[in-house]
Amino acid sequence: MDQEALLRAAAEFLGRRPNATQDEIAEAAGVSRATLHRHFAGRRALLDAVDALAVREMRQALDDVRLTEGPAADALRRLITASQPVSPFLALLYSQSQEYDSDEPGAAWAEIDEALMALFRRGQENGEFRTDLSPAWFSDALFSVVAGAAWSVKVGRAAARDYPAMITGLMLDGVLR
């Protein structure tokens, strides 16, 4: 198992069980605790690596989908689709970045949050999106819904292939017919 795959497995498990012990994480990732330690020298290092992975992937997603191009709703759809690989651990990092003891991860997430809010603002300013709810809420809600969808997929309540449509449908149009 290469380090990236190990890190991803650990991240996904931690996304579901923030309380997991190093033993449990290692087992879930299919390696021994010694091996986990060899790759990530301690829990702190592992958490930092998970955080860095999520930030990197979110930044990549933001770059790839070019949030500033085209209609805001289309950009949001692209982003939702691009978020799927990081979705199993996204909410873990984002919400805990507010509880984190280190300044740097928080700054990275703030930047990502700002990019999302800018997208929602753009949509509001050009008339695509409603203006009675705040961009900050939209950003938080998107993270929440992404996390919820990841969880649904993980526990088998939804199919992975439905991930984009589930979120897009709900975020853009809501449940009303």
Binding site for its own copies (CB under 8 A): 16-19, 73, 76, 95, 98-99, 120, 123, 127-134, 136-138, 140-141, 143-145, 147-149, 151-152, 155, 157-158, 162, 165-166, 169-177
Cβ–Cβ < 8 Å for 29, 36: yes
Using the minimum distance from each CB to its own copies, give the nearer residue, 34 or 176. Answer: 176
| Least gap, CB of 11 to DNA (angstroms) | 15
Q: How far apart are CA 139 and CA 40, in angstroms?
A: 31
Q: Indicate which of its own copies, DNA, none lies near residue 147 (CB less than 5 to 8 Å, by partner kind).
A: its own copies
Q: Indicate which of its own copies, DNA, none lies near residue 41 (CB less than 5 to 8 Å, by partner kind).
A: DNA
One-letter amino acid identity for 3?
Answer: Q
Nearest to 85 by CA among 57, 55, 65: 57
Q: How far apart are CA 177 and CA 159, in angstroms?
A: 22
Q: Indicate which of DNA, its own copies, none lies near residue 32 (CB less than 5 to 8 Å, by partner kind).
A: DNA
Helix, strand, or coil (residue 8): helix
Cα 7 to Cα 58, 117, 156: the distances in Å are 16, 29, 23
In the complex, which residues of this chain contact DNA (CB under 7 A)?
1, 21-23, 30-35, 37-39, 41-44
Q: Indicate which of DNA, its own copies, none lies near residue 171 (CB less than 5 to 8 Å, by partner kind).
A: its own copies
| Least gap, CB of 152 to its own copies (angstroms) | 5
Helix, strand, or coil (residue 19): coil
